């Protein structure tokens, strides 16, 4: 029998901006539950959560960690998450399987940009949320300001359950307006003494208590009736109302603490036990097909893989949540995505870098298993015959791209394997082998994300690599009409080669009129793989060129469009009319007309006012108001056109369109000029013409590289 049934398992994710104290709070919770005998410190590299050598080296969380506590008859699974936006994938995957979120707010900094970004994801998942104002022992702590900002950012549904009697170095008393009790801590923290609320605080506490009751009652008709009848709700009624409102994502209780001094964590854990929902109290899961999957230990076994990591000398560790049934070691489950049957050879309870072997896990619980053959993040495994598939985690698009190269020749295959392992562990990291740019590209969230990838490649796979600026996928087009002809003639004994082509090229646009001065015999429109169109007209009169040679002319034109005349980039949005030519009864063949078509197109292109187009992105930067000027100045130095500024709570959102070539190094630059207090995202908008001087430089650089290549 499992030690805890489904209703006594709580899954909590710790969230917050970098430096808000998540890992320290997790350490407190483990200590208070008696699972560790000494609280580790980040400065001493001794915390249970941040055990990875890279995290200890950098002094901050990089990966989400699964921990657990046992507290008053309940098991609390804790997922500690990183605070930097570069590692947002770790946050999203943790939110997918958590049943409650604890959002830590730094009482010194208030609501920070990272908090706002994480909140967007909690809204998507409708995760029940608790706010915890941390670092109240700091001399610069401002509880009231933090609460005001929380209400401004997240709505009036943020309700104060606790407030500090004093902040700063003297912080040691917390007044709880749910229990109407004051908790007084020793300087060393730990278990507090419960005292009556002092007379001078009663008025404030009564007002907050009344506000809490009204907020709870307003979300439940039956409680509203009781409140009208009695003028009060007892503690159990308030807890019941809070749970219902949290499940509906309607109320967000706010607590206060000092995780560093271990003040307030025990009360938070008690609230998680008594009030926060277990998985079977949350709305049942919906499968991709719309079926309902209840969280029932007696139901059909079904698990969802939310994270994988590769451990040296051990293999791949898959983390999962049991959404239905009871999972036992030795059980065989079917992967709905691949159809592969996987045997669950071992089950683990995970405690940071430690694993404890289990025999079974019930619905609602979270655990891990080793060496699944063909199972990845977002896969659903179920008992045979059920065909359940749970919705996938939707990860954000990338914000940064670099090219990666091996420093040693002959290690390309090893690098490919290493990159495959990276994307298996981290779905927010994408690898692209670009035939157009002839580079291997890594798409990631930012420079810190990239640094972690490089560290893994060098330390785990023992490869030396370097990152270089990716080439830009320019496009080429024309702005006016031009005619050209080319005769290809070659005689070398025996059959020769002969083909002559006259053609016209024009800038193509949707709805453009048909040619009027030449006869149109046929028309084909091609949607190009790289965007834009090629419209190809047969305007041959009198059999000057046999129809069987037109595909060869088209092939020559298309070949040159794949290797544009200006910079070797793809050409697009061009109309080609082949209207005349000559052929030879013996020497004309497909290769002759392919070459003639290619060269005629190249000559016409150079005469048609050619234009280089560059990819332009919509960039949104979220930053504090006092940094808006610096952010805009930096963007404008990158040829950005600022299109607007919107307010989002206490932050400003700067919206600009920026050429992709100017975004190189932007992640580092933004972090530097804002001290990490701003975030950005970018999305492709369109191709636009490059300025004349840049076009001239690009053409010259391409001509120079071509000469060097053939020298």
**Span 295-336, pLDDT tens digits:** 999 999 999 999 999 877 777 899 999 999 999 999 999 999
pLDDT for 709 equals 55
**Span 90-110, pLDDT tens digits:** 999 999 999 999 999 999 999
pLDDT for 711 equals 44
| Closest alpha carbon to 389 in 319, 297, 302, 296 | 302
b/e code 181-198 from CB counts within 10 Å (16+ = b): bbbebeeebeebeeeebe
Quick count: other Cβ atoms within 10 Å of Cβ 92?
22
pLDDT for 657 equals 97
Domains belonging to the chain, first-starting first, are 9-281 (3.40.50.300), 297-382 (2.40.30.10), 400-468 (3.30.70.870), 476-608 (3.30.230.10), 612-693 (3.30.70.240)
* Residue 1 pLDDT class (50, 70, 90 cuts): low
CB–CB of 603/595 below 8 Å?
no
Q: Mean pLDDT across the chain, nearest whole number?
A: 92
Could you give the CA distance from residue 72 to residue 8 in angstroms, rounded to a whole number? Answer: 10
Residue 339, classed as helix, strand or coil, is coil
Report the half-sphere exposure of 132 (CA within 13 A, side-chain side): 30
CB–CB of 383/299 below 8 Å?
no
**How large is the average pLDDT for residues 123-127?**
92
Better pLDDT: 677 or 669: 669
**How large is the average pLDDT for residues 425-447?**
94
| Closest alpha carbon to 102 in 136, 130, 67 | 130
Report the half-sphere exposure of 252 (CA within 13 A, side-chain side): 25
pLDDT for 418 equals 94
pLDDT for 159 equals 96
646 Ramachandran zone, left/alpha/beta (phi>0; psi -120 to 50): beta
pLDDT for 564 equals 94
Please give the full DSSP string across 640-702, using - where no structure is assigned.
-EEEEEEEETTEEEEEEEEEGGGGTTHHHHHHHHHTT--EEEEEEEEEEEPPHHHHHHHHHHH
* Residue 2 pLDDT class (50, 70, 90 cuts): low
Question: What percent of the chain is predicted at pLDDT more than 90?
Answer: 77
pLDDT for 450 equals 94
Outline where 155-293 has alpha helix (H): 199-217, 221-230, 235-247, 265-274
In 81-141 the beta strands, taken as DSSP E runs, fall at: 100-106, 129-134
């Amino acid at each position: 029998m499992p030690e805890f049934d489904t209703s006594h398992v709580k899954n909590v994710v710790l969230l917050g901006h970098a430096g808000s104290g998540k890992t320290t709070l997790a350490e407190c919770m483990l200590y208070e539950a008696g699972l560790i005998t000494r609280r580790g410190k980040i400065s001493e590299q001794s915390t249970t959560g941040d055990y990875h050598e890279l995290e200890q080296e950098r002094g901050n969380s990089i990966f989400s960690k699964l921990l657990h506590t046992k507290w008053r008859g309940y098991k609390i699974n804790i997922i500690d998450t990183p605070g930097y936006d570069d590692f947002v994938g770790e946050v999203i995957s943790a939110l997918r399987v958590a049943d409650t979120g604890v959002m830590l707010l730094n009482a010194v900094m208030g609501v920070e940009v990272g908090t706002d970004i994480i909140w967007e994801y909690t809204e998507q998942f409708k995760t029940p949320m608790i706010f915890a104002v941390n670092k109240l022992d700091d001399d610069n702590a401002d509880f009231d300001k933090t609460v005001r900002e929380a209400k401004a950012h997240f709505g009036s549904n943020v309700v104060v359950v606790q407030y500090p009697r004093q902040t700063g170095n003297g912080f040691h008393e917390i007044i709880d307006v749910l229990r109407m009790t004051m908790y007084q801590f020793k300087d060393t923290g730990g278990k507090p003494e419960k005292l009556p609320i002092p007379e001078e605080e009663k008025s404030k506490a009564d007002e907050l208590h009344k506000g809490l009751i009204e907020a709870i009652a307003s979300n439940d008709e039956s409680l509203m009736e009781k409140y009208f009848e009695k003028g009060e709700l007892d503690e159990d009624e308030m807890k019941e109302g809070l749970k219902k409102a949290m499940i509906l994502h309607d109320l967000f209780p706010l607590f206060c603490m000092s995780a560093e001094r271990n003040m307030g964590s025990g009360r938070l854990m008690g609230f998680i036990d008594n009030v926060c929902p277990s998985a079977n109290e949350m709305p049942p899961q919906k499968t991709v097909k719309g079926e309902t999957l209840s969280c029932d230990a007696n139901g059909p076994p079904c698990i969802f893989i939310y994270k994988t990591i590769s451990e040296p000398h051990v293999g791949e560790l898959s983390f999962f949540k049991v959404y239905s049934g009871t999972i036992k070691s030795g059980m065989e489950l079917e992967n709905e995505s691949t159809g592969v049957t996987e045997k669950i050879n071992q089950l683990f309870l995970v405690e940071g870098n430690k694993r404890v072997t289990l025999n079974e896990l019930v619905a609602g619980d979270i655990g891990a298993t080793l060496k699944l053959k063909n199972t990845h993040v977002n896969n659903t495994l179920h008992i045979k015959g059920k065909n359940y598939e749970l919705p996938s985690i939707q990860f954000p698009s990338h914000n940064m791209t670099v090219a990666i190269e091996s420093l040693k020749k002959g290690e390309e295959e090893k690098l490919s394997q290493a990159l495959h392992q990276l994307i298996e562990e981290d779905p927010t990291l994408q690898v692209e082998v670009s035939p157009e740019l002839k580079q291997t590209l890594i798409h990631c969230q930012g420079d810190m994300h990239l640094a972690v990838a490089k560290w893994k490649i060098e330390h785990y796979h023992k490869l030396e690599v370097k990152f270089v600026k990716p080439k830009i996928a320019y496009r080429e087009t024309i702005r006016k009409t031009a005619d050209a002809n080319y005769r290809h003639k070659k005689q070398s004994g025996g059959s020769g080669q002969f083909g002559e082509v006259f053609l016209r090229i024009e800038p193509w646009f949707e709805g453009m009129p048909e040619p009027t001065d030449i006869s149109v015999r046929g028309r084909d429109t091609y949607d190009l793989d790289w965007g834009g169109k090629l419209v190809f007209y047969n305007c041959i009169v009198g059999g000057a060129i046999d129809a069987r040679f037109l595909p060869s002319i088209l092939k020559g034109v298309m070949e040159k469009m794949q290797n544009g005349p200006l910079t070797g980039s793809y050409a697009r949005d061009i109309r080609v009319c082949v209207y005349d030519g000559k052929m030879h009864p013996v020497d004309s063949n497909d290769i002759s007309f392919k070459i003639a078509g290619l060269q005629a197109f190249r000559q016409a292109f150079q005469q048609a006012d050619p234009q280089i187009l560059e990819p332009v992105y919509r960039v949104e930067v979220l930053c504090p108001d006092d940094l808006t000027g610096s952010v805009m100045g930096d963007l404008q130095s990158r040829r950005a056109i600022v299109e607007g500024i919107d307010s989002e709570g206490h932050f400003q959102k700067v919206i600009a369109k920026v050429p992709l070539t100017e975004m190189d190094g932007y992640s580092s630059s933004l972090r530097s000029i804002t001290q990490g207090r701003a975030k950005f995202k970018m999305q492709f908008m369109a191709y636009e013409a490059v300025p004349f001087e840049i076009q001239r430089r690009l053409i010259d650089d391409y001509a120079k590289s071509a000469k060097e290549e053939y020298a």
